[in-house]
């Protein structure tokens, strides 16, 4: 049995990668030849999204909004501009909207059609955000979906679901946890999880966070 399969590739070539990888290589190399794509720019984009852009950006926006009422006002008036103040810009030119959680209102973000997501402040979306169950159920049964994340929103609070589009992306500003009076922005940033800015969880409480 051990010798049933001889390697016929006597020049010791490599096994081609997956069909998906070959398709990307084919398209990319054709586009590079035509001058439509600059390989160095591709590398820079990958580096940015693998290493530089992530939910910490959004956490800094939230911590600033918690700490600085004037900033919160600017965020409410024009979230795209207020977020850009911290150096985070949407490269698709999408319009950012900040939605604030309060004791009366809890906000939840979804993209029912595909996976529109505020990359500049949250990085790329988690797998579940792109999944069919989340996309289809977040609008129909938001409380049920949030419960699966371990989040129970009080009955008396209104749940608002925001459906992202290619043009508009939403960032949830979670409620500032109690017991964080006088905390620095940096310390507050540690309490703000990715999921809390999508709306499927709350900001961490000081006892368990940081």
Residue closer to another protein (CB basis): 113 or 210: 113
Choice from 21, 81, 159, 210 touching another protein (CB under 8 A)? 21
User: Rule CB under 8 A: which of 111-170 touch another protein?
Assistant: 113-116, 123-124, 126-134, 136-137, 145, 148-150, 165-167
Of 29, 114, 136, 184, the active-site residue reads: 114
Of 111, 120, 164, 193, the active-site residue reads: 111
Query: How far apart are the C-alpha atoms of 157 and 141, rounded to whole Å?
Result: 15
Furthest-apart CA atoms within the chain: distance in Å:
74
Q: For residue 64, count other CB atoms closer than 10 A to its CB.
A: 20
User: Rule CB under 8 A: which of 44-83 touch another protein?
Assistant: 45-46, 49-50, 54-55
Has 67 been annotated as catalytic?
no
Q: Measured at the alpha carbon of residue 59, what is the angle toward residues 74 and 88, in degrees to the nearest 5?
A: 60
Place of tokens 């949030």: 146
Overall residue count recorded for the chain in this entry: 210
Of 116, 120, 193, 196, the active-site residue reads: 116
**β 105-110/158-163 pair status:** parallel
Encoding tokens for residue 40?
């160095």
Query: Minimum distance between the CB of residue 101 and another protein, rounded to whole angstroms?
Result: 19
Has 115 been annotated as catalytic?
yes
Encoding tokens for residue 192?
């703000």
Q: Classify residue 149 as exposed, middle or buried by CB count within 10 Å of its CB (0-12, 13-18, 19+).
A: middle
List residues binding another protein (CB under 8 A): 9, 11-18, 20-31, 34, 36-38, 41-43, 45-46, 49-50, 54-55, 91-94, 113-116, 123-124, 126-134, 136-137, 145, 148-150, 165-167, 193-195, 200
Q: Which residues are marked as active site?
A: 111, 114-116
């Amino acid at each position: 049995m051990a010798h049933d399969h001889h390697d016929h590739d006597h020049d010791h070539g490599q096994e081609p990668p997956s069909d998906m990888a070959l398709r990307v290589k084919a398209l990319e190399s054709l586009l590079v030849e035509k001058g439509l794509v600059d390989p160095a720019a591709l590398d820079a984009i990958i580096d940015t999204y693998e290493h530089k852009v992530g939910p910490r950006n959004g956490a800094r926006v939230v911590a600033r909004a918690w700490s600085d009422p004037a900033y919160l006002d600017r965020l409410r008036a024009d979230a795209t501009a207020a977020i850009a103040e911290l150096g985070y810009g949407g490269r698709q030119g999408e319009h950012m909207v900040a939605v604030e959680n309060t004791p009366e209102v809890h906000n939840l973000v979804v993209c029912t059609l595909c996976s529109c997501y505020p990359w500049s402040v949250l990085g790329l979306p988690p797998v579940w955000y792109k999944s069919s169950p989340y996309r289809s159920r977040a609008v129909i049964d938001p409380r049920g979906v949030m419960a699966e994340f371990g989040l129970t929103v009080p009955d008396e609070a209104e749940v608002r679901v925001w459906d992202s589009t290619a043009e508009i992306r939403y960032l949830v500003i979670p409620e500032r946890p109690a017991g964080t009076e006088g905390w620095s922005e940096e310390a507050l940033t540690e309490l703000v999880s990715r999921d809390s800015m999508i709306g499927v969880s709350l900001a961490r409480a000081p006892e368990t966070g940081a």
